[in-house]
Chains A and B, each alone.
Chain A
Amino acid sequence: MTDLLDLPWTEGRADVSPREYVDACLRAIEARDEKVHAFLHVNADADAAALPIAIKDNIVARNMPTTCGSQILRDFVSPFDATVVERLRASGASIVGKTNLDEFAMGSSTEHSAFGPARNPWDLSRVAGGSSGGSAAAVAARMVPAALGSETGGSVRQPAALCGVVGFKPTYGRVSRWGLVAFASGLDQIGVVTKTVRDCAEVFGIIAGHDPRDSTSSTHDVDDYAADVSAGVKGLRFGIVREAVEQLGGEVRANFDAAVDVLRRGGAIIEEASVPSIGYAIAIYYIVANAEASANLSRFDGVRYGHRSERARTLDEVYFDSRGEGFGAEVKRRIMLGTFALSSGYYDAYYGRAQRVRAKLRHEFEEAFRSFDYLVTPTSPEAAFPIGAKTEDPLAMYLNDVFTAPANLVGTPAIAVPSGFNAEGLPLSLQIMGPHFGERALFRAAGFFENETGYWKKAPLST
């Protein structure tokens, strides 16, 4: 018997009442989340809805906790809804819970959550990826049909890849960040996790659009994003990013080559593309993102909300001790790096230079998109790694975002779609990138690939 939650949202919702759908999600969370730990907060009173959805716990929803996975916000309750939550509610969705994340979305494994890691539903001893690991694990484990995450350097696509689900990052500015707790404002964008490409396009259509409360939000027209998911890829031009894949070997390379063959058999034109500076993406990212984070996180000062140190006797101690106690190690590391990069004497050599290399990278992407409709790489350089494997080596953790961070730096949309499994049965993923506002075409390519391969139909054994 097929469980309701094994069906795509766009198929399952027709046969079930809104009350039954939400209750099915709540029951699945009750049964499975003790092991997976995808949720930090479950809304047991969730209203009946045609779209039960989970949202990452750095997106605010009225009268619900928003912890950002941090001790510093462990008791915070939001007085208002994020724009994406407003839009979801207006279209008949219900928020069934808030999902686990690396503290302030800083990480690639959800191990930096102050409340314990999310676990990979395919192997509970492995990471779910991050930082939106809870959102990816919740969808993969069939607890909700869809979830929102947020991206700064791949935080939706990478966990989606590691959990075997669809993860999508829109063009920078396509979705309002009003109510998303800011990490790096020049990079942050809200994304979508679902089982299938069509589900993803439909949910994205609900949250996309201009919002005057986010001054970076685009006035570009919203498209019918699911319109072409069955249109095929005949004649479309895909560029394999040479500099990204040339040193790649083993199971990830073999899987990627097989994925490209699927596109080729569908009539796509496959050629090698060149983005010479793509290898600098992680170095750029850890300057630009951390610099912006160091400024954004200055608001957590123990004065207006969040943790205040009980030992603080002076205002300076309120600042230093509240932040010292409230932030975890990774967040402090990033604030320190960002503060350094912006500090007097180092600004030009670090922040200024990183922005200039970023401008060059953007130029190279624009050049590549003159010749290609899409650029493709694997989503992640490896399958889900064991919990604890990288927590002592921050740089090794950062390098997990090597294929995803470029799209954030240049602001282009990108989608991760399941591309099969390795010998251990862990999911692998194909990343398809498109030019600015090329979302509809991205769903077309990803929809073709999914339809040919059908990997989404396999559910993790541990559920």
Chain B
Amino acid sequence: MKIDRAEARRIADLAHLEFDDAGLDRMAAEMTKILTYIDQLREVDVEGFEERERHVTPMREDEPRPSVDREVALNAREQVARNAPAWRDGFFVVPKVIGGD
């Protein structure tokens, strides 16, 4: 499978990754090499083997319950704030997404 710059750009946009042109060309070349290796999977006879066979994650009952203990939860807000890149009045701050220019 050959990945060119335009295809690499399409994937980078889907993945929310920023690359310059040189970086994108390098990535396209590396992906081509790796996908060429992976293409050997095309030769395998997979008749009778299904994609989803037994790879289903079991779900718990949809009942609300605490996932951490009370003491941790009480201190968590302060630590969440400390880990946040921008935080004000109990909210994460991001650049304006509506209106403006």
A residues with CB within 8 A of B: 62, 75-80, 185-186, 212-213, 215-216, 277, 280, 282-284, 286-287, 294, 298, 301-308, 312-315, 317-321, 323-325, 327, 332-333, 335-337, 339-340, 343, 349-357, 359-360, 362-363, 394-395, 398
Contact = CB atoms under 8 A, between A and B. Distances in A.
A212 B63 CA distance: 12
A280 B46 CA distance: 12
Given A77-B79, A305-B85, A395-B34, A336 B15 contact: yes
A212 B59 CA distance: 10
A336 B1 CA distance: 14
What 7 pairs across the A-B complex have the smallest Cβ distances?
A324-B18, A308-B85, A356-B46, A79-B79, A359-B49, A320-B18, A305-B83
Contacts of A213: 67
A318 B95 contact: yes
B38 A283 contact: yes
Contacts of A350: 35, 38
Given A320-B16, A395-B34, 6 more contacts: A280-B44, A305-B80, A314-B95, A320-B17, A339-B11, A357-B46
Contacts of A320: 16-18
Interface residues of B, number: 51
Contacts of A283: 37-38, 40-41
B34 A394 contact: yes
B86 interface: yes
Given A284-B41, A303-B94, A356-B50, A298 B16 contact: yes
6 contacts: A62-B72, A79-B80, A305-B85, A306-B85, A343-B14, A359-B46
Contacts of A319: 16
Contacts of B88: none
Interface in B21-60: 27, 30-31, 33-35, 37-38, 40-42, 44, 46, 49-55, 57-60
A215 B60 contact: yes
A335 B84 contact: no
Contacts of B12: 336
B94 A356 contact: no
